[in-house]
Amino acid sequence: MSRYPAVISAADLFDIIGREDVKILDATFVLPNSGLDPLADYQKEHIEGAQFFDIKDFADTENPAPHMLCGPDCFAAKIGAMGIGNDDTVVIYGQSGMIMGPARAWWTFKTFGHEKVMVLDGGLPAWKRAGLSVTGDQPPAPENSSYTAHFQPALVRSMKDVEASMSAGRLILDARPAERFSGATPEPRGDMRAGHIPGSHNIPCSQIVDPQTGCMKSHDELEALFSICKSGEKACDITLSCGSGVTACALALALYSLGYENWSVYDGSWSEWGHKNAGTQIATQ
């Protein structure tokens, strides 16, 4: 697995912005019924040259679970239409930080074999806090690029894979808030049971960032947060889950930055496992 940096600071992005091989994406994602419109907000203000990356545009529309990963050909066609090439450096940010959509977009690129992809540390707030400018001007339509996707199946887990990991006692981490993990509060999507995968552990995705700056916590702080993963080596088998495969990718981003090598995202996550008709075991606490 590549060790290309997981995140880039606002200052470092400023130093490379404008380069032809640097492509910037606003991948903001919000929960259902949030009342927010990320595309409209992107159109009001964004980093100059940034394009909008909508997770829903890269979903398998034939799968009933929300925004499940699309196939390699679909990804390649849509990324090529954005003028992005295999050798380009892709920097992804979110309007309110780096937890939600940006990490999912980063994982999507990684899953299709793109090495040079990073998340803007702290997202748009960190960019603006550094005194750097935003614009409401829309970038010109990109010229189509030839893009080839190289699917990395080791980064994706299915329900069957998770059932095997659960039976074997392998590590499963859930990125949802503690109240949803425990089943104390209902899920934001209908037809869902409350609780978690039996044997899984809760590390809410919000804990990977500093609450004051919104930037990723220090290496030592992350090591402490993921201390449950330590089995004497960085190669322990880790499955990452959440509500619908979005915030699990924030845990993936943090583990990648720490050098963990054998993590995968359960794409269906609780939207699949916790569905009332799934026939799966659940636990509450």
Q: Do 200 and 66 share a structural domain?
A: no
Q: Do 251 and 125 share a structural domain?
A: no
Q: Span 201-205, mean pLDDT?
A: 97
Cα 140 off chain centre by = 27
Residue 231 pLDDT greater than 90, yes or no: no
Enumerate the active-site residues: 242
Q: In this predicted model, what pLDDT tens digit does every residue of 135-165 receive, in sequence order? A: 999 999 999 999 999 999 999 999 999 999 9
Q: Do 127 and 11 share a structural domain?
A: yes
Residue 32 pLDDT greater than 50, yes or no: yes
Find out whether 257 and 216 touch, Cβ atoms under 8 Å: yes
Confidence band, pLDDT 50/70/90 cuts, at residue 62: confident
Residues recorded for the chain: 285
Phi, psi of 171 (to 5 degrees): -75, 130
The per-residue pLDDT for 261 is: 85
Domain C-terminal end among 129, 151, 173: 151
Residue 1 pLDDT greater than 50, yes or no: no
For residue 43, being part of any structural domain is answered with yes
Q: Do 170 and 52 share a structural domain?
A: no
Domain C-terminal end among 151, 173, 206: 151
Q: Do 223 and 94 share a structural domain?
A: no
Q: Is the dihedral of CA 9, 86, 150, 105 positive or negative?
A: positive
- Which CATH number belongs to the domain containing residue 171 in this structure? 3.40.250.10
This prediction's pTM: 0.95
Residue 114 pLDDT greater than 90, yes or no: yes
Name residue 283's beta-bridge partners.
Answer: 196
Residue 214 pLDDT greater than 90, yes or no: yes
Q: Do 261 and 139 share a structural domain?
A: no
For residue 118, being part of any structural domain is answered with yes
Number of domains in the chain: 2
Residue 235 pLDDT greater than 70, yes or no: no
Confidence band, pLDDT 50/70/90 cuts, at residue 233: low
For residue 78, being part of any structural domain is answered with yes
| Residue numbers of the domain that contains 180 | 154-273
Q: Do 40 and 121 share a structural domain?
A: yes
Cα 211 off chain centre by = 19
Residue bearing the bigger pLDDT, 189 or 107: 107
Q: Do 193 and 122 share a structural domain?
A: no
Q: Do 238 and 130 share a structural domain?
A: no
The per-residue pLDDT for 25 is: 98
Q: Do 140 and 209 share a structural domain?
A: no
Residue 190 pLDDT greater than 70, yes or no: yes
Q: Do 268 and 171 share a structural domain?
A: yes
Find out whether 138 and 47 touch, Cβ atoms under 8 Å: no
Q: Do 207 and 169 share a structural domain?
A: yes
For residue 67, being part of any structural domain is answered with yes
Of 183, 195, 181, 153, the C-alpha closest to 280 is 195
DSSP labels, 24-64: EEE-----TT----HHHHHHHSB-TT-EE--GGGGB-TTSS
Q: What percent of the chain has pLDDT over 90?
A: 83
Domain C-terminal end among 151, 166, 187: 151
For residue 2, being part of any structural domain is answered with no
Q: What percent of the chain has pLDDT over 70?
A: 98
For residue 1, being part of any structural domain is answered with no
Residue 232 pLDDT greater than 60, yes or no: no
Residue 2 pLDDT greater than 50, yes or no: no
For residue 116, being part of any structural domain is answered with yes
Q: Span 256-285, mean pLDDT?
A: 93
The per-residue pLDDT for 52 is: 97
For residue 144, being part of any structural domain is answered with yes
Comparing 58-72, 78-92, 113-127, 207-221, which segment has the lowest mean pLDDT? 58-72
